[in-house]
Amino acid sequence: MSESAASIRVRWHTAQLLYNRRVHQTVENLHLSPKMRWLFTSAAAVLFAFPQPTIAKTPLPKHWGDFEVKHAWTDVPKGWELHAPAASDHTFAMRIGLKQGRFDELVTALYEVSDPYHPKYGKHLTKDEVEELVAPHPETVSVVDSWLSAHGIDTTSVQRGNGGSWITLKVTVEQASHMLNASYSLYRHGQTNEHVVRTTSYSLPRVLHNHIDVVTPTTYFSTIRTMRATNLQRRIEALQDDDADIESKLIEPGSLAAVPPSCNTTITPACLRALYNTSTYVPKATIRNTIGVAGYLDEFANFADLTTFFQRFRPDAANVDMQYVGGITFPTPNVYFSTGGSPPFIPDSSTPTNTNEPYLDWITFILELEQSDIPQTFSTSYGDHEQTVPFDYASSICNLFAQLGALGSSFIFSSGDSGVGGGDCETNDGRNAVRFQPTFPASCPFVTTVGGTFGVNKEVAASFSSGGFSNYFVQPSYQLSAVSTFLTKLGATNSGLFNHGFQVVVGGVIETTGGTSASCPTFAGVIALLNDFRLSQGKTPLGFLNPIIYSAGIAGFNDITSGSNPGCGTRGFNATTGWDPVTGLGTPDFIKLQALIG
């Protein structure tokens, strides 16, 4: 009597676990290097994978087996190590980004509504209009559905969102492996001890490459913990001047000469409101205007700390984002979006787990809100080195920001805190060449990126402030003039290396923090006030900022001409007259911007 498929599977998993245990014991006894240990265990896993018994299936049509690689890493991404084979019956939510039928038209519309000199300026699209432009072509839907059906997936159970351009389906590791010609495994991060189910390579049938942009989770390894932005913090023993002390020393609000010297070392909301000329503005459109703050890693708005912060620094009115956004924009409503972490992975579990890809989870949630509930301004102080994000994934996420810009929202990201690059700055494409490391999503052309400065009565570029040139995205038209001028002055410097203290309350005590994670909410607060003014005048919000700040609004910034952002064994880029990669256009002057673009 033949054994049932279930009993075969039980015997298989038992043998597999015993085998894996012996392999790891052997590796430990051999005292191999980390790379050799990974090669040994990978080879052992592959050898053992061949005889796995499967239930007989109807052969797939030939064209579904004609694979072409969609994305592959040359090695396991830095910081991660192979932990164990993924259980074949482990289930997860697979998300597939379909080719968007009229995305070029969406980008055209985005630039039209964001260009102050275009007749459509400020006439942002509706959600229905955006979804109509990103909806996949009917042929794409038909071909992809045929592929899913061939793998036994009921297409009526597939969730379709964002105009049908993103679909979500429940699959097992075994199914995903067959569909994508991939080998899923369980990987562990050395520093965070996180475990994720990923693959170092995935493919699609050739006929699908013109219909599918990205499949997740596949080769994007970064998680909520590994992509967390850096705050440069230190605890201080004595409290510095509070806002009442500083405001009493302000002789002429908006004049840099009037900002007290203490603001050179201890930045509070009063310092920032004076420095960026917002101290005399009182928000008027607080019923319509909101600012959103993105938080990850189970972070949340700490109301106790926020209360302590306001009592100390903004009596008229946690974490660094909420405190400085609130300190500048009060009483404008702030909305904190907390994206939770992923539950622990249990190898033999059949329970779906979070795919743990925070950008996609978060943006999908925002796009599902009613348009009236989407904040006009967003501050996000998180990022990854661009090269650690697969190009197909980065492009798809960047395109989602374009949709939100077309709807009328301004997205502001911190540039990062690694200068022109942290670590060894080596490329991960197998060449190990030294190259500057831009940050994503800061490198996306559809968001606005903020670096950092220090000092008051002369601001200087912060040395840790990231900034540079994307290796993924082409130079947008709105930057052409500014960047060309800078490159002409730069000459051959850094050739080949690039592609063409704030006070917060943490845990109830005062700490000093810096980093572009602090700059981002500060600038976002200024933009939120500009949106408040526009809405109070019966106008629309600013939406996608870059086209207007590089044109009509360029005179509303204080040019920063000192400092640099060293890294990768170089001085990095120098701040200079006009636009530069470390300080961009400079720091905002609210009163000037109010007159220029308000």
List the binding residues for Ca(2+). Answer: 559-560, 578, 580
- Of the candidates 501, 524, 530, 523, the one whose C-alpha atom is nearest the C-alpha of residue 513 is 501
What are the C-alpha distances in Å from 173 to residues 98, 160, 202, 411? 21, 21, 13, 35
**CA gyration radius, the chain:** 26
């033949």: which residue's tokens? 2
Query: CB-based contacts of 190: which residues, under 8 Å, 6+ apart?
Result: 79, 80, 81
Preceding omega of 441 cis (within 30 degrees of 0) = yes
Distance CA 175, CA 360 (A): 22
Preceding omega of 331 cis (within 30 degrees of 0) = yes
Residue 501 CB-density burial (10 A; 0-12 exposed, 13-18 middle, 19+ buried): middle
Is residue 598 within 8 Å of residue 589, measured between CB atoms? Answer: no
CB-hemisphere CA count at 13 Å for 118?
A: 16
Determine the number of helices (DSSP H) and then strands (DSSP E) in the chain. Answer: 16, 23
Annotation: binding site: 559-560, 578, 580
Tell me the sheet residues that pair with 202: 71
What are the phi and psi torsion angles at 150 (to 5°)?
-65, -25
CB-hemisphere CA count at 13 Å for 178?
A: 17
Is residue 499 within 8 Å of residue 572, measured between CB atoms? Answer: no
Is residue 375 within 8 Å of residue 286, measured between CB atoms? Answer: no
